[in-house]
């Protein structure tokens, strides 16, 4: 994986934490295929504001002048996160959180206090 792709992924993760106060954790899904700049940056985000029911939606963002890589982002609730961890919710092939890089707010210099309400 190119260093610039890793830097871009880390900046994207920090931006998501800054923009969403109820975001608790982000998994950056990294596989051997992700060494290619053609592969998207894949993020699984655990958000207290995410709906608890229904299918997990994946959002595909193309490269832009502000962000040079394609990204795939899925948002899940904390209870869906527990079900992903226990295997009762399956993620697409290659989306293995046990192999992912996990980020919390504190990892990107953000306060870890929980928002009220």
The domain ranges of the chain are: 3-108
pLDDT of the residue at 114: 56
The more confident residue out of 117 and 68 is: 68
Lowest mean pLDDT among 1-5, 37-41, 50-54: 1-5
Task: Output the CA angle 82-27-99, nearest 5 degrees.
Answer: 85
* Residue 87 CB contacts under 8 Å (≥ 6 apart), including other chains: none
Q: Would the CA dihedral through 64, 39, 59, 117 be positive or negative?
A: negative
Cα 107 to Cα 13, 30, 87: the distances in Å are 10, 17, 26
pLDDT of the residue at 28: 97
Q: What is the mean pLDDT of residues 45-63?
A: 91
pLDDT of the residue at 27: 98
Q: Is the pLDDT of residue 50 over 80?
A: yes
Q: Is the pLDDT of residue 117 over 50?
A: no
The band of 3, judged by pLDDT with boundaries at 50, 70 and 90, is low
The answer, as to whether pTM is greater than 0.85, is: yes
The answer to whether 104 touches 25, Cβ cutoff 8 Å, is: yes
Structure tokens at 24: 């608790």
Query: What dotted CATH number matches 3-108?
Result: 3.30.460.10
Q: What is the mean pLDDT of residues 89-94?
A: 90
Q: What is the mean pLDDT of residues 46-66?
A: 91
């Amino acid at each position: 994986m190119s260093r610039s792709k890793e830097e871009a992924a880390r900046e994207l993760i920090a931006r998501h934490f800054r923009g969403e106060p109820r975001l608790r954790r982000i998994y950056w899904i990294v596989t051997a295929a992700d060494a290619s700049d053609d592969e998207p940056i894949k993020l699984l985000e655990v958000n207290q504001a995410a709906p608890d029911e229904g299918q997990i939606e994946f959002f595909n963002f193309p490269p832009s002048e502000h962000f040079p890589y394609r990204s795939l982002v899925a948002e899940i609730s904390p209870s869906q996160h527990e079900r992903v961890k226990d295997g009762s919710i399956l993620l697409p092939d290659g989306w293995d959180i046990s192999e992912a890089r996990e980020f919390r707010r504190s990892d990107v210099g953000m306060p870890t206090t929980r928002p009220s309400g």
